[in-house]
Amino acid sequence: MKKAYNFNAGPCVLPKPAIEAAIEALKDFKGTGMSVIEVSHRSKEWGEVMDECRALWRELLHIPDTYEILFLAGGASTQFLTVPMNFLEKKAAYLETGVWAKKAYKEAAGLGEAVIVASSADKTFSYIPKGWTIPTDVDYFHITTNNTIYGTEIREDFDSPVPLIADMSSDMMSRPIDIEKYALIYGGAQKNVGPAGVTFVIVRKDALGKVSRYIPTMLKYETHIDGGSMFNTPPVFSIFVMNETLKWLKSIGGVEAINKINVKKAGMLYDEIDRNSLFVGTAAKEDRSIMNVCFVMAPGHEALQDEFLSFAKERGMVGIKGHRSVGGFRASLYNACPVEAVEALIACMQDFEKLHK
């Protein structure tokens, strides 16, 4: 089998035990004689998976009973509208730190009044804005904690005078979170906790029911709370793999343990970028993401970009080309990305530097 070091930004690298369990479940789910993609979502066997998955989310992130956990379809992009539908009565506030934050703001602004508290667009979103204040006259404040395209990350849980809502698509389960500082957290699973197709929502129950507008049935959080995430047929296969991914995470020590590993992996790669004469990081050092490491060729070496991509590909590096909007390189170091893969990328960068000294 070909050796590949997967640095794709999403769909993400998944733990091997989760993939192996998925293969077996596709053949025969829990001894039913049916595939997991054939079994009824109303069956006892499937209900056990849903219950186990919710329990793992609660255990790994210490989510109290005052919060509901939902597994939905539609991706984080659907949540960009669902959030203001359920929370925006008079005005909303957004922190603009990248493309996905901009898209979330656009949906809110199309529905009602929304303001941008601060933005890092002036420097191509290469830093997290500083010195801003959360307004107190808004219904909620929205942040995007990790910016996959630009490699910046908010690694703290803010105290907020208004309901705090976060898109955590690409750094969920990578670090401990103080859940009770948030009214709602959402994200697409495919960046860190599972395959594409399922969206997680963690919402404080008493934060809902505050708006006077009509909310379409499928965009109303209470619909899915009352239906146990099965108002309509859930994305069963994606939820199954997410459950297996969380079982793997628990087996290695949980969120606290993986955070230490993630910090180590990112530190190793950033150290090499800072040392290597051919490469330079693009994000402000104090705001560097531990999930998505973005870098470019150093000044004077820009012509080597395509050569390095080919050089890295020959050595098994997959998915290190930067987002099409910014170019350069991006290595996504999600939970299941092993230290071995980072070591291989570092060796590749060092070998390339030797060729061009």
CATH class of 254-355: alpha beta
Decide if pLDDT at 187 tops 90: yes
% pLDDT > 70, the chain: 99
Residue 264 and residue 146 in contact, taking contact as beta carbons nearer than 8 Å:
no
Residue 330 three-state SS: strand
Instruction: Give residue-wise pLDDT tens across range 2-50.
Output: 679 999 999 999 999 999 999 999 999 999 999 999 999 999 999 999 9
Instruction: Give residue-wise pLDDT tens across range 251-289.
Output: 999 999 999 999 999 999 999 999 999 999 999 999 999
If one counts every other C-beta atom within 10 angstroms of the C-beta of residue 82, the result is 25
Each residue of 324-334: b (16+ CB within 10 Å) or e?
A: eebebbbbbbb
Structural domain spans, the chain: 16-251, 254-355
What sign has the CA pseudo-torsion 332, 335, 336, 340?
positive
pTM score, whole prediction: 0.97
Decide if pLDDT at 175 tops 60: yes
Tell me the average pLDDT across 155-161.
96
pLDDT band with cut points at 50, 70 and 90 for residue 325 = confident
Instruction: Give residue-wise pLDDT tens across range 60-74.
Output: 999 999 999 999 999
1: which DSSP letter?
-
Would you state the pLDDT for residue 1? 56
Instruction: Give residue-wise pLDDT tens across range 50-109.
Output: 999 999 999 999 999 999 999 999 999 999 999 999 999 999 999 999 999 999 999 999
Tell me the average pLDDT across 144-164.
97
The average confidence (pLDDT) of the chain is: 97
Decide if pLDDT at 324 tops 90: no
The CATH topology of domain 16-251 is Aspartate Aminotransferase; domain 2 (3.40.640)
State the alpha helices, DSSP H only, in the chain.
Answer: 16-27, 44-61, 75-87, 99-111, 221-226, 236-251, 254-275, 305-314, 339-355
Would you state the pLDDT for residue 2? 67
Tell me the average pLDDT across 286-312.
97
Catalytic residues: 100, 167, 191
How far lies 324's CA from each of 100, 149, 273, 330, in Å?
15, 9, 21, 11
Question: How far is it, in rounded angstroms, from Cα 257 to Cα 272?
Answer: 24
Decide if pLDDT at 211 tops 60: yes
Question: How far is it, in rounded angstroms, from Cα 248 to Cα 46?
Answer: 19
Decide if pLDDT at 357 tops 90: no
Would you state the pLDDT for residue 3? 78
**φ and ψ of 187, to 5 deg:** 175, 160
Instruction: Give residue-wise pLDDT tens across range 284-294.
Output: 999 999 999 99
Residue 121 and residue 105 in contact, taking contact as beta carbons nearer than 8 Å:
no
Decide if pLDDT at 114 tops 90: yes
